[in-house]
Amino acid sequence: MQYDLVVIGAGWAGFNAALKAKSHGLNTAVIDKGPIGGTCLNSGCIPTKSLVQSAKILSLARKSAGFGIDSESPVLNFQKIQERKLNIIHQLQRSMQFALVLKGVAFINSKARLLSPDTIELADQEIKAKNIIIASGSRPAELPVLKFDNQNILSSNDILNLQAVPKSILIVGGGVIGCEFACIFHTFGTQVTILEKLPQILPSEDPEVARRLETSFKKKGIKVITSGELNALDLAAFDKVLVCVGRVPDTQDLGIDRIGVKTERGRIVVDEYLRSSAPSIYAAGDCTGKIMLAHFAAYQGELAAFNIACPKELKKATYSNIPNCIFTEPEVASVGLTPESANANGINIEIHKFDFLGSGMARIMDETDGFVKIISNKANGLVVGGSIIGARATELIGIITLAIQSGLNIEALKNTVFAHPTLSEAISDSLK
């Protein structure tokens, strides 16, 4: 069988690449050794956010008396929470499979190995492809001194399949994944300790936001150790140890080394058009080691497919305006420059800030912990970045993302009328 394009990996990069390619008339197939959806759907965004939502409902139920709702203490049913998570995954898997069928994209559930730049070996056959996109995703990074055993030393994949809530857990790594799981299991009743070797949790975020989240964690009873060393703790004191020290590109066993695909520390090296060093082979998503976010993977996948389908209209990838969303409690989101990165680039900035303590809707929701922080270029007033910590931060960041993408200045954002009472008013209130 010969295809115009074969995509290796059916995660968010591969799935969206296939649909984009098909929309441009390419005969397309997607191959994945696992279930459709990749990391995001099966062991990342979707299952973790399902647990986050259950934790939010539980947290709200516990404080319902403050809203004038008298009820008995809520009871956690972890089995039903896990069942709900799996139902959501299965529903979305079916939706993705239906989308591929509807568009006429072939889905092949098989291990794939490249024999040449145009030949792919499957479990029971070989297929030909004029072009290939590698979208093989990533896997949890492992520490040499903490090898995953799927019992006590857990990866972020393993912890999703727990059958019971642990009494205590040590989370090694205070990044996005570690902080999200800290909130989930603290709400479920686990004694949580976060160990981060750097001076702040969420090392890539605005330090002011990271400090605010750490303060919030400590008020809740989550123990946070920064600038910490693993050998200073007794691992036997914890029921479970969750290792969240990042993810690494999953490019093993693809055969890419034999056909001239250049890699660096496991990631596939691509140019600005997402082309690899081998003819007719592109790469998209986590396997490129760029920004490991599902929405960025989808963007890369679509861009790679477009550049294959329209070689006379090549588009360059951009990495400057990608929102980052962290589903902790309170939520954290950011986009563009931080004050530190702006200063490092020699940009003279103004900082505009509004605390949710002054928000009517935040008061109504009883979620006043947090603030909006918008950064503008002092020379021309253009919005260049923003960070939000607080209720619905992951939704509100879209406003700042759109402002940066559209080249809006502070005056345009200030003059926008936001509905009252809403949390979005904090955007304009920060500019007054």
pLDDT in tens, 247-296: 999 999 999 998 999 999 999 999 999 999 998 999 999 999 999 999 99
Verify that 27 and 118 share a domain, yes or no: yes
Catalytic positions, written as ranges: 420
Q: How far apart are CA 11 and CA 79, in angstroms?
A: 27
Same domain for 253 and 236: no
Q: Is residue 289 part of a domain?
A: yes
Distance CA 7, CA 298 (A): 13
Is-cis flag, bond preceding 421, omega within 30?
yes
197 by Cβ neighbours in 10 Å (0-12 / 13-18 / 19+) ranks as middle
**Mean pLDDT, all residues of the chain:** 96
Q: Is 227 part of a structural domain of the chain? A: yes
The pLDDT of residue 333 is 98
CA 69 to chain centroid, in Å, comes to 35
Domain for residue 235, yes or no?
yes
Residue span of the structural domain in which 407 resides: 330-429
Least confident stretch, 81-85, 121-125, 285-289: 121-125
**Claim to verify: residue 106 and residue 226 sit in the same structural domain:** no
My answer on whether 159 and 96 are in the same domain is: no
**Weakest-pLDDT range from 81-85, 189-193, 230-234:** 230-234
Say whether both 120 and 62 belong to one domain.
yes
| Residue 142: how many other CB atoms lie within 10 Å | 14
